[in-house]
A = this chain, B = another copy of it.
C-alpha cells in the first residue's frame, strides 16, 4: 500500500442517514453506533447537525467526547452562528472537523436569492471563519453535479484559499453516472489552483442505483474520501452504502488498487444494529448485507458451490463477520458462556446489563429449543430499547382475538402508578393500542408497523418495530418476544417513552430549519 492510494471512509449514517423520514435515532443509539463505527475503523464520523436542535448538539458533543480514533465532524450551513455552534460541539473530540456547505447549482442559488458574486463572498467568509476555529475544515458545494463547471471551479478555489482541507463534491439528487462522476473530479484536479493540496471527497445518492459505481469512479479519478452510510441509509433512495464501496475495493483490488482502514468483519453487526435502530429493514437481495447475499438456490449453482466455493462466490461470509456456525446456546448455558457469546457478537455489556439479559435468555431458552445468535442479538437489543427507568411500563396483558372480535385487558405502570383498562379494536393490535391510549392519551399517529421472525420455526421470537409521529416528531420503538402481540405492545409503549423524552426536548422537528430563511 502506498499512501496516495489510501481512501478515507467518511460515514454519515448519523447525519445524512438519520435524516431519512422515520430514521430518527435516540441519543443513546447514536452514541452506540458512533462507538461501533469508530471501532470499525471509519476515518471520519459525521455525527450530526449541531444547530438543528438541542438533541443534535448534545449527540455530537457526546460522540466527540467518547471518540477514540475517528475524526468527529459536524455539519453547518454557510452562516456564522451555525459554524460556531458546530465548533462548540465537535471541539471536544481528539480530532474535530467542521463541515460547512451551500447549494451552488442554479436551482439552489435561486432559493436564497444570492447571485454568483454574493455567494462567492459568503463562501469565503464562512470557510475562513471555520478555519479560524478548527484546522480541519470540509466544504461542500451542494448539488455540485448540477453546478456550472466554471462556477464550480471558481468557488472550490475560493474555499481552498479560505482554508478548506477537504472539498466534498455532492451528487445531492443522485443524478450522475460513473463516467461523469470521474470527469468532474478530474476537471477540478486539473483546473483548480491548489487542488493537489487538499483531499477531494465524493458524496453520492442512489436515486438511479449507481451511488457505489459513481463513488468508485470518483476515486479512480483522484477523490480520496468516500462519504457513505451503513446499509445505504438516507433520504429517498439513500446514500452510497459503506459496505458496498469497502467490499468492492477489497474484492476488486486488482483493478482498483485502493485501501481503506475498515475492519470488514464488523460490517454485519453494524448493518444489523443500524437496521434495528433506524427501523429500516435491509432487503433480502441487498448487496453484501442482505439475508440472501450468500445464499444459492439453483441446482447448477449449488453443484458449483459444493465443488469449488469460488465458482459462484467472490467473498466469504466471514469477510463481513457473518458466522455460519450459528447454533448458540441452550438452557444449560451459564452466565460466562453468555458473556463470551455476547463478546463474540460484538457486545460488551456491564454486570447489571448482563444480569438482565441472562434472565431474559433463561426465560427464552425454557420456551425455545434452539437459541441462535440472532435470538441473543434480539435480546440485547430489546434490553437496550426498553429499560426499567421508562415512564410507561407494561405489567400485564391479556388479549382475545379471532373471528368473533378482539379485545385487550392491559395493566400498565405510569410513573409508578398502576392502571388497568379493557379495550376493543379492529384486530388484536388495534385493541391493545387502544388500551394503551386509554391509559396514556396521546395524538401520535402510527406510521409503520412491522414484524419479523428473528429465526426460523414457528416458536421463533419476533421483533416488532413501530414508528409514530406527533406534530412532526418521529419516534421508533422495538421489542422482541415469542408473543408477537406482547412484543407489539412493548414496542408501542417504547415509542411512547421516546416521545415523552422528545416532548421534553427542544427537538429538531419543533423548529424546522431552513438554510434560506436567514
Contact = CB atoms under 8 A, between A and B. Distances in A.
B485 A485 contact: yes
A117 interface: no
Most chain B Cβ neighbours within 10 Å, of A103, A304, A460: A304
Contacts of A462: 427, 429, 449
A241 B398 CA distance: 45
Contacts of A207: 287-288, 293, 314-315
Contacts of A446: 453, 456-458, 460
B111 A304 contact: yes
A310 interface: yes
A322 interface: no
B314 A175 contact: yes
A235 interface: yes
A179 B248 CA distance: 14
B280 A484 contact: no
A298 B75 CA distance: 13
Given A237-B287, A248-B177, A482-B426, A434 B458 contact: yes
A285 B234 contact: yes
A235 B301 contact: yes
Interface string A195-212: 000000000001111111
Contacts of A483: 401-402, 406, 426-428
Given A285-B232, A300-B514, A255 B212 contact: no
A200 B238 CA distance: 32
Most chain B Cβ neighbours within 10 Å, of A313, A449, A452: A449
A48 to B, nearest CB: 12
Contacts of A451: 449-452, 484
Interface in A203-240: 206-214, 216-217, 220, 231-238
B401 A209 contact: no
A244 to B, nearest CB: 3
A408 B458 CA distance: 14
Interface of A: 19-22, 52, 77, 103, 107-108, 110-111, 143, 172-175, 177-180, 206-214, 216-217, 220, 231-238, 241, 244-245, 247-248, 251-252, 255-256, 280-288, 290, 292-304, 307-308, 310-315, 367-368, 395-404, 406, 408-409, 425-430, 433-434, 445-453, 456-460, 462, 481-486, 508, 512-517
17 contacts: A20-B284, A22-B292, A177-B252, A206-B285, A210-B212, A237-B288, A280-B284, A283-B283, A399-B400, A401-B401, A401-B485, A425-B458, A425-B459, A427-B484, A429-B484, A446-B458, A450-B451
